[in-house]
């Protein structure tokens, strides 16, 4: 079945440093990979996504890369700020009768001022 | 702004009680979802609905049922709550289009404790 692994489970960085979260997926039919950020007391919110026909996508300080052959994808946050502290979920999605989204277990990122 | 609201932020119930969790979205989305979130397990899909009165089981439907009588409202029901259903419950909604993926919009969550 579909499965998404995510590492590390916790990550602490100094403000201004970069943070990298890595994910591996199992279903080769997946072709959409969203990343969600969950701040304390809130529901997850989409921050960036990438489709299987693209290898890299960037939006200001965040970027995602996808290696479809290896079934790896990663989130890169540069120049981290305290407001980046949150739980981040990677996910793979399949187009079935609905948009089936399989979430990874999450990474708790702490940015230390 | 899309808004997904959940009826309670915190709920404490006793084993065996019937529990209703309510979710309302204001964006006329066709699809609605119920997930539970547990540490180290991420979000797991319990049930989803793609139309009024239509529902399908997700990955962990045992012990739960759902109701969608109106397009904007999706309810999760625990017929007889058990301690292993203590968790954070998240509702989400999205449009569905055949050619592309759509963002899921989440509510703030309901933290349910079953004693």
CA distance B95 to chain A (A): 9
Residue A112 confidence (pLDDT) above 80: yes
What is the distance, to the nearest Å, from the Cα of residue A113 to the centroid of all Cα atoms in its chain? Answer: 23
What pLDDT score does A97 carry? 66
Alpha-carbon span B73 to B69, nearest angstrom: 7
| Cβ-defined contact of A101 to B104 (cutoff 8 Å) | yes
A21 in reach of chain B (CB within 8 A): no
Terminal-to-terminal C-alpha distance of chain B: 37
Q: Which two tokens stand for residue A52?
A: 């299987």
Which of B4, B35, B48 is the closest to A98 by Cβ? Answer: B48
Per-position DSSP letters for B24-85, written without gaps between them: EESS--SEEEEEEEETTTEEEEEEEEEETTEEEE-S--TT-EEEEEETTEEEEEESS--GGG
B90 in reach of chain A (CB within 8 A): yes
What pLDDT score does A1 carry? 61
| Cβ-defined contact of B109 to A43 (cutoff 8 Å) | yes
| Cβ-defined contact of B106 to A105 (cutoff 8 Å) | no
Q: Which two tokens stand for residue A11?
A: 């990550």
| Cβ-defined contact of A44 to B43 (cutoff 8 Å) | yes
Q: What is the mean pLDDT of residues B5-25?
A: 96
HEC string for chain A: CCCEEEECCEEEEECCCCEEEEEEECCCCCCEEEEEEECCCCCCEEEEEEECCCCEEEECCEEEEEECCCCEEEEEECCCCHHHCEEEEEEEEEECCCEEEEECCCEEEEEEC
Q: Which of A41-45, A62-66, A97-101, B44-48 has the lowest mean pLDDT?
A: A97-101
| Cβ-defined contact of A97 to B50 (cutoff 8 Å) | yes
CB atoms within 10 A of CB A91: 25
Which of A41, A42, A103 is the closest to B42 by Cβ? Answer: A103
Residue B14 confidence (pLDDT) above 70: yes
What pLDDT score does B105 carry? 94
Q: Which residue of A has its CA nearest to B94?
A: A99
Residue A8 confidence (pLDDT) above 90: yes
Digit-coded pLDDT (tens) for A23-81: 999 888 888 999 999 999 999 999 999 988 888 999 999 999 999 999 999 999 999 99
Alpha-carbon span A18 to A79, nearest angstrom: 6
Element (H, E) at B20: strand B19-25
Give residue B78's pLDDT band: very low, low, confident or very high (50, 70, 90): very high
Q: Which residue of B has its CA nearest to A96?
A: B98
Q: Which of A7-16, A38-47, A94-103 has the lowest mean pLDDT?
A: A94-103
Q: Which two tokens stand for residue A25?
A: 């997926």
Q: Which two tokens stand for residue A55?
A: 């290898």
CB atoms within 10 A of CB B51: 12
What pLDDT score does B96 carry? 76
């Amino acid at each position: 079945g579909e499965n998404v692994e995510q590492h590390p489970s916790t990550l602490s960085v100094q403000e201004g440093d970069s943070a990298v979260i890595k994910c591996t997926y199992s279903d080769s039919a997946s072709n959409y990979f969203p990343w969600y950020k969950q701040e304390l007391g809130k529901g997850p919110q989409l921050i960036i996504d990438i489709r299987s026909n693209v290898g890299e996508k960037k939006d200001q300080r965040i970027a995602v890369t996808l290696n479809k052959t290896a079934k790896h994808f990663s989130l890169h946050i540069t120049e981290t700020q305290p407001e980046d502290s949150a739980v981040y979920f990677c996910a793979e999605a399949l187009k079935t009768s609905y948009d089936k989204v399989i979430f990874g277990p999450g990474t708790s990122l702490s940015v230390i001022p | 702004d899309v808004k997904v609201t959940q009826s309670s932020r915190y709920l404490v119930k006793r084993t065996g009680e019937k529990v209703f969790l309510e979710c309302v979205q204001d964006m006329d989305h066709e699809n609605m979802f119920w997930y539970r979130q547990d540490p180290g397990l991420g979000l797991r899909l319990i049930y989803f609905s793609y139309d009024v009165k239509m529902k399908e089981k997700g990955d962990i439907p045992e012990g739960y049922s759902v109701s969608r009588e109106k397009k904007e409202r999706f309810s999760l029901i625990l017929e007889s709550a058990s301690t292993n259903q203590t968790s954070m419950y998240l509702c989400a909604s999205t449009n569905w289009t055949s050619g592309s993926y759509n963002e899921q919009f989440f509510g703030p969550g309901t933290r349910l404790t079953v004693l």
